[in-house]
Chain A
Amino acid sequence: MTSPIELDELYCDFKESVQASIPEANLDLCLTCGACTGGCPASELLDMDPRKLVRMVLLGMDDEVRKTPWAWVCTMCARCFKACPMKINIPKLVYSVRRSWPRDKAPKGIRGSCDQHIRAGNAMGVPSKDFIWVVEDVAEEIQENDPKFKDLKVTVDRKGAHLVINQNSREPVTEPDELGPLWKILHMVEADWTYPSVMWAGENYCLFLADEEGWKYILEEFVYHIDNNLGAKVVVNTE
């Protein structure tokens, strides 16, 4: 015979750990209204949705919660959070689920990109000297082939530049010609800018992996380089 759930006897370790690390997550406030789920493109995928995940956490279904690969299908886009009348931070809950995965069980692609970033300063694992070489090579080609841009200036680690620009590593690594248009725009507005050679890439897979140590390390190295070596006032994320 089916019996009612005894709420007093629930062990909700996962919920408690989330509440401890993210007090603003407000999990207990869920009204089960489903606004989160109604507007979520990941609803029903892998037989899961945001409301169900919250419910499972509240019911202490910790094993199922920790194991659901849905945590990697949800993109933490925060549409659910915006729609939630009780301001339950579901993206942060999903982030906590990701964080609870053993590092070696997390998706290989995301883990690999995070590892490369820690090691080389970009998710594709390209050494800084190769990045600098590509940048100089492409710049030279533009200067030589286009008279309008014969004075195009592209620098790496230029001290005192006002702007430091983060570039997604995809451009220099797989499609260097895509660097040109942005540089031309910067040239036309006479922007005072440079690229950093340390943690130069715009992407951040350690955040996606919920690897806080890696994420923090990347940021610390980056901030140290900008503040102590370059002195830029503004850091710009590109498209």
Chain B
Amino acid sequence: MKKFNIPHNFEFTSIITLYAQWIREGKLKVNSDWNRDLKIKFTLQDPCNIVRKTWGELMADDLRFVIKTIVGEENFVDMIPCGTNNFCCGGGGGALQAGLPEQRRAYGKVKFDQIIKTGANYVFAPCHNCHGQMEDIGEFYGGNYHVVHIWTIMCLAMGVLGENERAYLGPDLAKVGL
């Protein structure tokens, strides 16, 4: 909009900002009790588009606030580097559909290695490009992590995740909270 000078009467926000706001306001009653004994480890891919390229550290902080709330601070492991200095997953900018899979996967190897080093079983990917790319490189390079949306784990933590809403969960979480 800014680019094309299109006047508009609304503002843009991200669902992540709202998740964080709702948790802080007490509207979203969610905690990490479900994972206290399970101790399942999570990491996060900071999507370049909403972090480095748009909302910067504010978004990086909100993401971590939301995720630590729902999985427990002790069960969250950051990749290095991360936040505004993260590596792109290699699927962005249309790369997933650019018809250059060999190069896209070579690019994604950097991300794959980062994920493996965290030792996490689950990667949050609050972006569809990241989600698709990290699933693909996980399969291609033989990682055994799962890629999830925040909304899935948020609902799991609140005990409202349906049986048919678990396509991205591994066997360790398939029945939790049912």
Contact = CB atoms under 8 A, between A and B. Distances in A.
A208 B127 contact: no
B82 interface: no
A232 interface: yes
A176 B9 CA distance: 31
Interface residues of A, number: 64
A223 interface: yes
B18 interface: yes
Contact of B151 (A170, A185, A190): A185
Contacts of B90: 41-42, 75
A203 interface: yes
B88 A79 contact: yes
A148 interface: yes
Nearest to B29: A188
Summarize A's interface: helix, strand, loop or mixed.
helix
Nearest to A73: B103
Interface size class of B (residues with CB under 8 A): 35 or more
Contact of A79 (B50, B52, B108, B160): B52
A111 to B, nearest CB: 9
A145 B160 CA distance: 12
A232 B10 CA distance: 7
A109 interface: yes
A181 B85 contact: no
A115 to B, nearest CB: 12
A41 B87 contact: yes
Contacts of B22: 189
16 contacts: A39-B87, A41-B110, A72-B98, A77-B48, A142-B162, A149-B160, A168-B128, A178-B149, A180-B162, A181-B154, A185-B28, A202-B128, A215-B4, A223-B8, A233-B9, A236-B18
Given A41-B108, A165-B15, A205-B94, 20 more contacts: A41-B87, A42-B103, A45-B106, A69-B100, A72-B94, A72-B99, A75-B91, A78-B48, A78-B52, A79-B85, A79-B87, A185-B151, A209-B94, A215-B4, A216-B6, A220-B6, A227-B9, A235-B11, A235-B12, A239-B127
Q: Which 5 A-B pairs have the closest CB atoms?
A: A208-B94, A109-B97, A77-B88, A75-B93, A75-B92
Interface of A: 39, 41-42, 45-46, 69, 72-79, 82, 107-110, 112-113, 142, 145-146, 148-149, 164-165, 168, 170, 175, 177-178, 180-182, 184-185, 188-191, 202-203, 205, 208-209, 212, 215-216, 219-220, 223, 226-227, 231-239
Interface of B: 1, 4, 6-16, 18-19, 22, 27-29, 48, 50, 52-53, 84-88, 90-100, 103-104, 106-111, 125-128, 149-152, 154-155, 158, 160-162, 164-165, 167
